[in-house]
Structure 1
Amino acid sequence: MLTLSGAKSGAASAVRGRLFLFGWPLLAVIAFALAGCMPATTQVADADPADPSAKVARASYRSTVAPYTSLRPATPAPWRDRNDAVAPQPKQDR
């Protein structure tokens, strides 16, 4: 599939006289291939994972539903009072 899109891009760039249309997909494929070959290493602060006396962060627990409070069952208010509470006030000068 990449060969076909490269060929189409190359043919289009040859017609238009621009060579950069063929080069960027090929460079992107090469960059992704090389990025996949790079080792993902992280620097450990000279700690041995098998050392039982090594200092580690304390495990903590935070509930994801702790701030939740149930609002049901709620008694419905009369609709006329609720509507009047949010309605705009009539202007007195008219």
Structure 2
Amino acid sequence: MDEQLSEFFKLFSNVLRLKILQILDQHEQNVSDLVTLTGYSQSNISQQLKMLKQADIISSHRHGKQIFYVLKDNHIHEIIALASNHLEEKL
């Protein structure tokens, strides 16, 4: 379990992945929207989405020709909120 927990927390150690999770926490998005919102390249966004999907943190669904991504559950929101609150208390 320690190894799995360590791998899980590594997902939050990348700035782009964290930005993607925070954006998806607000609303589902497609890759084009994520490129616009983050300023990162499409290939970089796609690479990070693949990692998050493999970790079973996000899911996707097709609407026409576009694929939309969304957080799988509310736990990710809670983890980010708790970490943010922790850091704000330290300031």
TM-score range, shorter chain: under 0.3
Q: Which has the higher strand share?
A: 2
* TM-score w.r.t. length of structure 2: 0.24
* TM-score w.r.t. length of structure 1: 0.24
Give the structure, 1 or 2, with the largest relative contact order (CA under 8 Å, sep 6 or more): 2
Larger radius of gyration: 1
Q: Which has the higher helix share?
A: 2
